[in-house]
Amino acid sequence: MTPPTTHDTWVPIPQGRLFVRSWLPSGVVDAPPIVLFHESLGCIALWRDFPAQLANATGRRVIAYDRLGFGRSDPYPGQLPLDFIEMEAQEAFAAIHAHLALTHFIAFGHSVGGAMAAHVSAAFPEACRGLVTESAMSFVERRTLDGVREAKQAFAAPEQLARLARYHGDKARWVLNAWVDTWLSEAFRDWELAGVMARVPCPLLALHGDRDEYGSPRHPERLVAHAAGPAMLRLFGCGHVPHRERPEAVLEAVVAFLE
């Protein structure tokens, strides 16, 4: 299969520049593109070959971007605020939406990116035609906090932080601290998505691994239960990254959902 054509651009926002990449498959269909939202330690590069696979499988343009402070985007000015999930929809994505003239789109988010995609769907109800969440958190669960604590201990090893720096450069320590400090903060314990899902009218596909080390199936169950529009749940036999552990199954589910 012919690899999709890639196109890179930079989108300015008041705090800095966002790096954006698009994948355009041959024979692209006239349908809303898919916008990807990465996880807490992620960036475009850490999606690896999934965006290209998604573009070829769906025939749609796929768009991903590095959030401010991550990957090739500019550093984040200061500490990540506790309302960063909601603000991503109102600030960074709003700028990308305008810059790329996205009349309609599909929002697809992994992990905390799934929560961001939900906020985007609620903030752009006329433009967002579908929401796909993958391993998305919908509340602060004990398993999530235990997973973050274990990861924090693992990243105490210099070689682990060095691996993160391969993708985020000098911003690696900030990326790690933003994730750990936010989720382990007492002030973040009451965060949840139920109220947001009640404002998401588009169809929802909630994907989750039954062995997800950062969240039980209660997360997608809550997403589906509180969604305002039609919603379906797919559980896979895997951990926190189904698109890497079960790529064929994820692609099949997304293609069927979009059709």
Per-residue pLDDT tens over the stretch 173-191:
999 999 999 999 999 999 9
Range of the domain at 74: 5-258
Q: How far is CA 76 from CA 16, 72, 96, 202, 224, in A?
A: 8, 12, 17, 31, 33
pLDDT band at 29; cut points 50, 70, 90: confident
201: alpha, beta or left? (left if phi > 0; alpha if psi -120 to 50): alpha
Q: Is the pTM higher than 0.95? A: yes
Does residue 28 carry a pLDDT above 90?
Answer: no
Tokens representing residue 3 in the block: 């690899």
- Here the CATH number for the domain that contains residue 32 is 3.40.50.1820
CA atoms of 52 and 227, how far apart (whole Å): 29
Mean of the per-residue pLDDT values of the chain: 96
Quick check: 38 and 110 in contact, CB under 8 A?
yes
Domain total in the chain: 1
pLDDT, tens only, 106-157: 999 999 999 999 999 999 999 999 999 999 999 999 999 999 999 999 998 8
CA atoms of 135 and 112, how far apart (whole Å): 8
